[in-house]
Amino acid sequence: MRIHILGASGSGTTTLGQHLYQRTGIPHFDSDYYFWLPTTPPFLEKRNPDERMAMLNGDLAGLKSYILTGSVVSWGESMKSKFDLIIFLTIPPAIRLERLRRRELERYGEIIYTNPERNKQHLDFMEWAAGYDQENFSGRSKIGQERWLAEVTCPVLRIEGDTTIEERMTQSLAKIEELSRNGLHSGMS
């Protein structure tokens, strides 16, 4: 089963991917690993799109099953046909942004408030993340992801709202089982 889990930053794509990996053993990959060059602090320098795809294709080559979390919408056009199931997570913007604020503080500590450069990075990130729900936003956006989803040929499972990881797992595993029963997948690992 080749699964892509996408949504806004802070919607829980990586968390769901990790839980599905733990439950099913299907290898899990996160798009941030391919999108960003390794830096300290992380997520400052983008990797060249051709290099991203080469790395991703290399890691997925020969796998009958995988879980890819994050979003490849803006740089992974060739990935559209490589999934058996896409899971699209959406949660209310206020809840998502609060999750991101907490995650940033847990991840980096008070430096995101006390160091002027790190504070600017934090505020820029939060502004970018808030743009997801805006109509004319040029970054990762709900509208852009919806357009991309309208063009894929595999089933799309939409999980909406502030659901628990258990609820998301139940819905995801039920859909995976349904597709497996009906033979609509490339095989389990």
Query: Which CATH number is 69's domain given?
Result: 3.40.50.300
Which token pair is 185? 């997948």
- Residue 171 has a pLDDT of 98
Instruction: Give the pTM.
Output: 0.91
Query: 120 in a domain, yes or no?
Result: yes
Print the domain residue range for 66: 2-181
Considering its fold, how many domains does the chain have in total?
A: 1
Could you tell me if residue 188 is inside a domain?
A: no
Q: Is residue 47 part of a domain?
A: yes
**Does some domain include residue 15?**
yes
Mean pLDDT of 87-105: 96
Residue 187 lies in a domain: no
Q: Residue 189's pLDDT is what?
A: 36
Whether residue 186 is predicted with pLDDT greater than 70 in this model: the reply is no
28-85 confidence digits (pLDDT tens):
999 999 999 999 888 889 999 999 999 999 999 999 999 999 999 988 888 989 999 9
Categorise residue 62: left if φ over 0, alpha if ψ from -120 to 50, beta otherwise.
left
- Does 189 map to a domain? no
Q: Give the confidence band of 185 by pLDDT, cuts at 50, 70, 90.
A: low
Mean pLDDT of 84-95: 97
pLDDT at 187 over 50: no
pLDDT tens track for 126-182: 999 999 999 888 888 999 999 999 999 999 999 999 999 999 999 999 999 999 998
Domain membership flag for residue 58: yes
CB-CB contact of 67 with 5 (8 Å): yes
